Amino acid sequence: MPLKNGDSYKVKDEKINQLIRQISSNYASGLSEDLLREMLTTIAKSGEEKLDIGDMKLINTTIKELRYAFDIFSAYHGRRKIAIFGSARTNPLAKEYKMAEEFAREITGHKFLVITGSGPGIMEAGNKGAGTANSFGVNIRLPFEQEPNRYILGDSKLVNFKYFFTRKLMFIKESDATVLFPGGFGTMDEGFEAITLFQTGKCRPRPIIMLEPKGGAYWKKWLVFIKDGMLKMGYISEQDLKIFKIMYSAKEAIGEINLFYKNYHSIRYINDITVIRLNNEMPDNKIGLIKNKFSDILIDGPEKTKPMEWEARNNEHLNLPRIRMRFNRHDFGRLKELIDYINLAY
């Protein structure tokens, strides 16, 4: 958030501060003006402090990549999206490829869009199944392996990234569910990041599904490591296992995603208050049951509420019913169970 005292964050040259204020007022207003002023001040400080040229290049490329990606995705904020991950080396004749293609094709029939890394293998299958019109590609520029596949190549929804961290940010920020097929280090990286961000409350709650054809053992073996190498050693808790699910059919995965958004719409943290927006009004008796069933993670609540002042100021889904609570902001596996309970209550 912008600093409350805008004058406390500035460069040493007052003439530059005045120019920054002028540019900010010309291109933005209100909260956006404050943010733009801080952004411009940060850039000016990088010159004032004579940062290394390599550091300045990193800042420059990061800002340019994110600005362009935000612009591309902005026209589609009203549509939910599924991020699909898996090996770039999966053969088009493999069962996993066919399953990814089937999943992407079927999920678009439920009004979802698909985001892939735009490369070959599982990524190609995702773009092929969804079709170009329902696909995004967030490509990473590599010296090998990662040329955009023919189903997204040349499309306006293909975004190229130099850095993995900016690319991974877009995958999380713009998607509403994460589906992982068998893959290598990159797939593990994306999967563990999604789980970690959910576990720590750094991303919106979402379905995280490990998917492979029936009879496959990839995710079973992975789960053995999770349980024996992490859970038994005390590095994670039992409730962390609730964050993800392993499934063996595209139909089952689609059902899980649709169920997650059956009544749950979105979440907003405002100071120590957690607001959950709903697609339908929550019956009073169900609210009472939530209060009892999840008392271990709720400091107080839930209770019905009108849009909070912060939500109203930012025009966030003001037409939706919502409940508010003080969630401990620690046990996110249990929060996932709370959301599941909300959806099953109808």
Kindly report, residue by residue over 37-92, the tens digit of the pLDDT.
999 999 999 999 999 999 999 999 999 999 999 999 999 999 999 999 999 999 99
| H or E segment to which residue 58 belongs | helix 53-74
Beta-bridge partner residues of 274: 269, 325
pLDDT at 345: 78
Q: How far apart are CA 327 and CA 300, in angstroms?
A: 8
pLDDT in the model for residue 6: 56
Tell me the pLDDT tens digit for each residue of 94-116.
999 999 999 999 999 999 999 99
Render pLDDT for 9-34 as a digit per residue (tens, 0 to 9): 999 999 999 999 999 999 998 778 99
Share of the chain above pLDDT 90, in %: 93
Residue 277 has pLDDT above 80, yes or no: yes
Asked if residue 3 has pLDDT above 70, the reply is no
251-261 residue pLDDT tens = 999 999 999 99
Tell me the mean pLDDT in the region 297-302: 96
* Confidence at residue 145, expressed as pLDDT on a 0 to 100 scale: 56
Please name the residues in contact with 167: beta carbons below 8 A apart, sequence gap of 6 or more. 117, 138, 139, 140, 161
Strand partners, 177: 82
Residue 141: count of CB within 10 angstroms of its CB: 11
Q: DSSP label at 332?
A: H
Q: Left if phi > 0, otherwise alpha if psi is -120 to 50, otherwise beta: which for 150? A: alpha
**CA distance to 268, 294, 325, per residue, from 271 (Å):** 10, 21, 11
Q: What is the mean pLDDT of the chain?
A: 95
Residues with Cβ within 8 Å of 48's Cβ and at least 6 positions away in sequence, in order, are 11, 12, 13
pLDDT at 237: 96
pLDDT band at 176; cut points 50, 70, 90: very high
pLDDT of residue 146: 65
User: How much is the pLDDT for 30?
Assistant: 78
The DSSP call for residue 228 is I
| Contacts of 245 by beta carbon, 8 Å cutoff, 6+ apart | 207, 208, 209, 210, 256
Q: Compute φ and ψ for 50, nearest 5 degrees.
A: 55, 55
Provide the pLDDT for residue 166. 97
For 17, half-sphere exposure in the C-beta direction (CA atoms, 13 angstrom radius) is 9
d(C-alpha 245, C-alpha 7), whole Å: 49
pLDDT digit string (tens) for 314-329?
Answer: 899 999 999 999 999 9
Q: Calculate what percentage of the chain has a pLDDT beyond 70.
A: 97
CA proximity to 105, closest of 213, 253, 262: 253
Tokens of 155: 């499309």
8 A C-beta contact, residue 87 and residue 184: yes
- How far apart (Å, rounded) are the C-alpha atoms in residues 316 and 225? 41
Q: Which residues pair with 269 in a beta bridge?
A: 274
